[in-house]
Amino acid sequence: GIAMTAVSWDVVARPLAEHFRVIRCDFRGQLMTPVPPPENVGEHADDVATLLDQLGIDSAHIIGTSFGGVVGTLMAARHPGRVRSLTTIAAADGFDELMAGEVARWRAACVTSLESGDRGHLSDILEPVVYSPAWVEAHKAERAQRRTQISALPDEWFEGLIGLLDSAHSLRLREELNGVLCPVLVIAAELDGFVPLDRARGLAEAIGGASFRIIEGAGHAVVIEQPKRIVDLCIEFLGLLN
């Protein structure tokens, strides 16, 4: 996810690692890769291919959520020989005006967080959109902890996120979908406040033969809200390919 880091995937990566070799990375501009992000989202897909080269890996199953799902889709389209399968989570077939408006709101929150000194302001803006109402109500202590964690992040993280959000305008995902030839699973979150269900369904419908599953009761941050369900769906999907 655009505001996540590889550590955010622990709850998914650990159980998957019982079955597969799991590799995680932060994109340029994210917490553990604190360099300016590219202006074009597609360059992240090239970065992932280069990472596989450095690790001596010919091909891999790709799993990504939200922004990472978009990058994974671009990688499958542009580097088809490197992607055995693609699983996208809470990702869309492209941005519409409402999603673009939300991205602009997140960018403004980053700027305000930097200028006001209240780093937790970004968390206040993101929470109602990325989490389901029930999760927000049931995890008050965890929410407070996350706000504190975001408040402690360095300027470079906020600046990197601003750059990543600015790059969203470069996304032309629909133009690339015909190039996705591998098996695909598209997972949507029923209560996603950022990616409408019809946009996630549109992604599945635009990719021939893609499977489409909805996780009920989950918000956009479904990886955090229902990690076991994510793991179960991924293992089921990948098991069918063997």
Q: Could you list the mean pLDDT of each consecutive 10-residue stretch along the chain, which spans 242 residues?
A: 93 95 97 95 96 97 96 96 97 85 96 93 95 94 91 94 91 87 97 94 93 97 97 94 72
pLDDT for 242: 64
Q: What would the DSSP string read from start to end of 83-116? A: EEEEEEES--SS--HHHHHHHHHHHHHHHHHHHH
pLDDT for 130: 96
- Return the closest-CA partner of residue 183 out of 101, 109, 113, 240: 240
pLDDT for 78: 95
> Which residues does residue 61 pair with via DSSP β-bridges, in sequence order?
85
Token couple for 17 = 């690692």
Sheet holding 60-65, edge to edge: 60-65, 83-89, 184-189, 211-215
pLDDT for 103: 94
As to burial, measured by CB atoms within 10 angstroms (0-12 exposed, 13-18 middle, 19+ buried), residue 53 is exposed
pLDDT for 38: 96
Q: Are 62 and 78 in contact (CB under 8 A)?
A: no
Residue that the structure tokens 């602009």 belong to: 104
